[in-house]
Amino acid sequence: AVGGALWVGWREGTIPLALFVDTGGWWIDIGLGLAAGAALIGAWRLLARLSDRARELERRLGDMLGPLEPAEVVALALLSGFAEELFFRGAMQGSWGWLPATIIFAAIHTGPGPAFRLWTLFAALAGLVLAGLMLWRGNLVAPVVAHVLVNGVNLGRVVSESGESPGDGRGEPSPETPPSDSERAG
């Protein structure tokens, strides 16, 4: 977010309010962001139902993130959604155009193995949708709302599913699971 703000400020000489919100049509932007976010969530859920790789990706991301409290999920979704949109759609797309911004956005959503390539492809699709919202509406409200919704729903689902085995669904070990070295030391 800081990098995006500095980039926009350097390019524009100031950080215009109009980049963030259309004061006359903000409710349209919120509605479009919610609709786009819901469509992307639906597309991912369909893919996860049909693809072993998508389910593997969800497991691996859940393992990497570990258990999170609902407030942590919300905070991560808000922070990542706002920061990435300010940087990619606000700064990068405003300077270099939608295609380079989308390609680089997809490229940073990667990791090792075939499951993570699927994440990169999905990020490319999401990046196109978010870039289109920015082009259409001319401000960050719709892309931010869509991005926060996608991240919040998917993070919440991935970390809740990762914490369900073994344990009680909150990432805590079941009584049969021996304590880890750090739990014994703590």
First vs last Cα of the chain: how many Å apart? 36
Percent of the chain surpassing pLDDT 90? 81
**pLDDT tens-digit readout, 117-165:** 999 999 999 999 999 999 999 999 999 999 999 999 999 999 887 665 4
DSSP string, 20-74: H--TTTHHHHHHHHHHHHHHHHHHHHHHHHH-HHHHHHHHHHHHHH----HHHHH
Q: Are 85 and 147 in contact (CB under 8 A)?
A: yes
The CA dihedral of 146, 31, 78, 118, to the nearest 10 degrees, is -10
How many other C-beta atoms are found inside a 10 Å radius of the C-beta of residue 42? 10
**Mean pLDDT, all residues of the chain:** 89
**How far, rounded to the nearest angstrom, does the alpha carbon of residue 67 sit from its chain's CA centroid?**
17
Q: Are 148 and 130 in contact (CB under 8 A)?
A: no
Q: What is the pLDDT, as a whole number, of residue 163?
A: 60
The pLDDT of 8-12, averaged and rounded, is 92
**pLDDT tens-digit readout, 60-82:** 999 999 999 999 999 999 999 99
**Residue of 58, 68, 35 lying closest to 122 (CA atoms):** 58
Q: What is the pLDDT, as a whole number, of residue 84?
A: 98
Q: What is the pLDDT, as a whole number, of residue 161?
A: 77
Three-state DSSP at 158 gives helix
